[in-house]
Chain A
Amino acid sequence: MTALDESPAEVPQESMAVTAAVGASVPVHQPKGSSKGHRLKNLIPPLVTFAIFIGVWYLYSWSRFDNPAQRRNALPYPHTVITDGFLPLWDESNGLRPILGYMWPTVKVTLIGLGISIVLGVAIAVVMNLSKGMERALFPYAVILQTVPILAITPLLTQLFGDEIGVRLVVVVLIAIFPVITNTLFGLQSTDRLHHDLFTLNHVSRWTRLRKLELPSALPAMMAGIRIASGGAVIGAIVADFFFNQGEKGIGYYIRNRQQRAANRPEMFAGTITASMFGVVMFLIVGAITARAIRNWHESASRQT
């Protein structure tokens, strides 16, 4: 139909209203939970990719190394990683048991660090959203947070924050906070102009506008930022173990330790795989929380192809 009444170029005040009105009627489609067979079908593509990956691994490992011992100490076959890296199940110093033992401090640092990043990041984004001046004042430093080479300043960090959980959290926050800030800010600033008008007409306070309009409207973008941050937080927690030796040691320590002797290569792989699996789990959990939080209203939640 003819929603384009006022031409945007001519009357600037009205241009936003016009763009917002276009595509006002959204088709109603609410995919119900997919059936079991359907879900199985969805699993096939990633499984095929996985099989190819494992195949390439075998192939490369087989063609690159002639000597079995040499292979084991460089790029062991996947099944060797399982038997030698994971499977000495209840060995005190090898296999899944110590790996999981070292995972716990990593999980703790990741979750606490991510929590701090979310709270701080959203708060900073909200402050930036208060005015263009605030944004200009803070944004360059948010960028610097992201670009500062953390590894280069580890001695400084140790001097400032010690050598235990504190400095590990700092590393996690330094890595994880930026995507939270930028995505939340983007979400806050993308709030519909007409919605703002609606709230203006109701004479609302800045706080009410933030709470009832801007934050809910920013939620999908914010969650996307947290999703990126969750992966970064895991990496931060692991990397921190490489450089800070005191306090509870995490999986990063285990990996670093197993790097030092070639004979421990399968264990190193096992530790690395477990650590990255944790990253995947974090990513999935945040994704599930997001889907739940916005499933009723956001377009992204109803896309299922």
Chain B
Amino acid sequence: MFTLVGWASTVATTNFTEDMMTDTEYASDLSGTATSPRLRFEHLSMVFPDGTHAIDDVSFSVDPGEFVTVVGPSGCGKSTLLRIASGLTQHTGGVCDVNRDSIGYVFQDATLLPWRTVQKNVELNAELHGMSKQDRQRLSAEAIELVNLVGHEDKFPKQLSGGMKMRCSLARSLVLNPEVFLFDEPFGALDEITRERLNDELINLFNSEKFAALFITHSIAEAVFLSTRVLVMSARPGRLIGDYQIPFGAERPHDIRFEPEFAEICGLINNDLKDAHT
């Protein structure tokens, strides 16, 4: 009926011969991870029915407390990664291992239901999960406070600015306290100032909630600012061509964007991306 298929069936269809080919990328992926990853791609590939080869042999994982960002040129299949992780799209090869019952998906667009108030929008996921009215009202109030939307509960999406809509969308996902957050370029449509402010707020959220995050963007600065690790994806078929651990600590003050080290990493990623486009 729906596209969501349990990951168990995904594992069952895995091509095991491919599984056993351990390349260096795969090996490096396993290093230094004692805790089990919340999200794991192994030799993932995706060929759409029309023959478009979107993703080719992508392997990486996201641990709790890890913020992984994928940057890449347009149409390289970054968003497809998220759709596969969430189960919205069924991949055609490799493994995608994630607990689909505990995913927060933040879309490119805020995707608020226009006929619901902020409060009711934030309650939506909890409501659809059958949570009691009392519980979801309490959790929504907390989430609304976390994203600084207190005082706007009774407004309709039409009355909100782009940034406020995105905050509301974040709050909606926060209510269920998911283990894994998938961000599909959530701030792409916002102006630079709003975007940076929301980046700052997202860092705080991430530090307090300690989820595992997979973030898609094509803003290099955003990627470096937010992430513990940045992956660079090539043009189609998308494969990983760069992997950067970001050396900054958990606290990311706003001004870190102007540090030489920050600029240096951005430069390296930019070089990778230039190669990716050709």
Knowing A28-B160, A200-B4, say if A195 contacts B50 (CB, 8 Å): no
- Report the separation of the CA atoms of residues A3 and B79 in the bound assembly, to the nearest whole angstrom: 13
* Residues 66-117 of B at the A interface (beta carbon under 8 Å): 74-75, 77-80, 83, 86-89, 103, 105, 107-111, 113-115
Chain B interface (Cβ < 8 Å from any Cβ of A): 1-4, 48, 50, 52, 54, 74-75, 77-80, 83, 86-89, 103, 105, 107-111, 113-115, 124-125, 127-129, 156-162, 165, 184-185, 188-192, 218, 236
**Do residues B75 and A6 form an inter-chain contact, with CB atoms below 8 A?**
yes
**Do residues A25 and B189 form an inter-chain contact, with CB atoms below 8 A?**
yes
**Do residues B50 and A6 form an inter-chain contact, with CB atoms below 8 A?**
no
Residue from A1, A13, A24 within 8 A of B89 (CB atoms): A13
- Report the separation of the CA atoms of residues A20 and B189 in the bound assembly, to the nearest whole angstrom: 11
**Do residues B157 and A12 form an inter-chain contact, with CB atoms below 8 A?**
no
B101 to chain A, nearest CB (A): 8
Residue of B nearest to A200 (CB): B2
B273 to chain A, nearest CB (A): 13
Interface range on chain A (Cβ under 8 Å from partner) = 35 or more
B37 to chain A, nearest CB (A): 20
Residue of A nearest to B72 (CB): A5
Knowing A12-B48, A200-B4, say if A1 contacts B189 (CB, 8 Å): yes
Q: What residues of A have a CB within 8 angstroms of the CB of B103 in the complex?
A: 201
Main secondary structure of the interface of B (DSSP, over half): loop
**Do residues B128 and A212 form an inter-chain contact, with CB atoms below 8 A?**
yes
24 contacts between A and B (CB under 8 A): A1-B192, A3-B189, A5-B78, A5-B79, A7-B74, A11-B236, A13-B89, A14-B80, A17-B107, A18-B108, A20-B111, A24-B108, A24-B165, A25-B189, A28-B161, A195-B111, A195-B113, A197-B111, A200-B2, A201-B4, A201-B88, A202-B128, A212-B128, A216-B113
- Report the separation of the CA atoms of residues A212 and B113 in the bound assembly, to the nearest whole angstrom: 10
**Do residues A297 and B125 form an inter-chain contact, with CB atoms below 8 A?**
no
**Do residues B108 and A3 form an inter-chain contact, with CB atoms below 8 A?**
yes
B144 to chain A, nearest CB (A): 18
Residue of B nearest to A9 (CB): B75
Residue from B79, B125, B189, B236 within 8 A of A24 (CB atoms): B189
Q: What residues of A have a CB within 8 angstroms of the CB of B77 in the complex?
A: 11
Judge whether A296 is part of the interface by a CB distance below 8 angstroms. yes
**Do residues A24 and B162 form an inter-chain contact, with CB atoms below 8 A?**
yes
Judge whether A302 is part of the interface by a CB distance below 8 angstroms. yes
B-binding segment of A72-80, A94-102, A175-183, A203-211: A203-211
**Do residues A198 and B107 form an inter-chain contact, with CB atoms below 8 A?**
yes
Q: What residues of B have a CB within 8 angstroms of the CB of A219 in the complex?
A: 115
- Report the separation of the CA atoms of residues A217 and B116 in the bound assembly, to the nearest whole angstrom: 11
Chain A interface (Cβ < 8 Å from any Cβ of B): 1-7, 10-14, 17-18, 20-22, 24-26, 28, 30, 192, 194-195, 197-204, 206, 208, 212-213, 216-217, 219, 294, 296-299, 302
Q: What residues of B have a CB within 8 angstroms of the CB of A4 in the complex?
A: 74
**Do residues B185 and A197 form an inter-chain contact, with CB atoms below 8 A?**
no
**Do residues B158 and A3 form an inter-chain contact, with CB atoms below 8 A?**
no
Closest 9 CB pairs of A and B: A25-B162, A202-B128, A10-B75, A297-B114, A24-B189, A21-B108, A3-B189, A21-B109, A194-B111
Residue of A nearest to B127 (CB): A212
**Do residues B105 and A198 form an inter-chain contact, with CB atoms below 8 A?**
yes
- Report the separation of the CA atoms of residues A4 and B190 in the bound assembly, to the nearest whole angstrom: 12
B78 to chain A, nearest CB (A): 7
Q: What residues of B have a CB within 8 angstroms of the CB of A199 in the complex?
A: 128
Knowing A25-B162, A297-B156, say if A11 contacts B52 (CB, 8 Å): yes
Knowing A6-B74, A200-B4, say if A13 contacts B109 (CB, 8 Å): no
> Max chain B CB contacts within 10 Å: which of A22, A26, A204, A299?
A26
**Do residues A17 and B109 form an inter-chain contact, with CB atoms below 8 A?**
yes
Residue of B nearest to A194 (CB): B111
**Do residues B158 and A296 form an inter-chain contact, with CB atoms below 8 A?**
yes
**Do residues A11 and B80 form an inter-chain contact, with CB atoms below 8 A?**
yes
A77 to chain B, nearest CB (A): 50
- Report the separation of the CA atoms of residues A298 and B159 in the bound assembly, to the nearest whole angstrom: 11
A200 to chain B, nearest CB (A): 5
Q: What residues of A have a CB within 8 angstroms of the CB of B80 in the complex?
A: 11, 13-14
Residue from B1, B74, B88 within 8 A of A197 (CB atoms): B88
Knowing A6-B79, A26-B158, say if A203 contacts B4 (CB, 8 Å): yes
B220 to chain A, nearest CB (A): 12
**Do residues A17 and B79 form an inter-chain contact, with CB atoms below 8 A?**
yes
**Do residues B115 and A294 form an inter-chain contact, with CB atoms below 8 A?**
yes
A131 to chain B, nearest CB (A): 11
Residue of B nearest to A23 (CB): B189
Q: What residues of A have a CB within 8 angstroms of the CB of B110 in the complex?
A: 24
Residue of B nearest to A293 (CB): B115
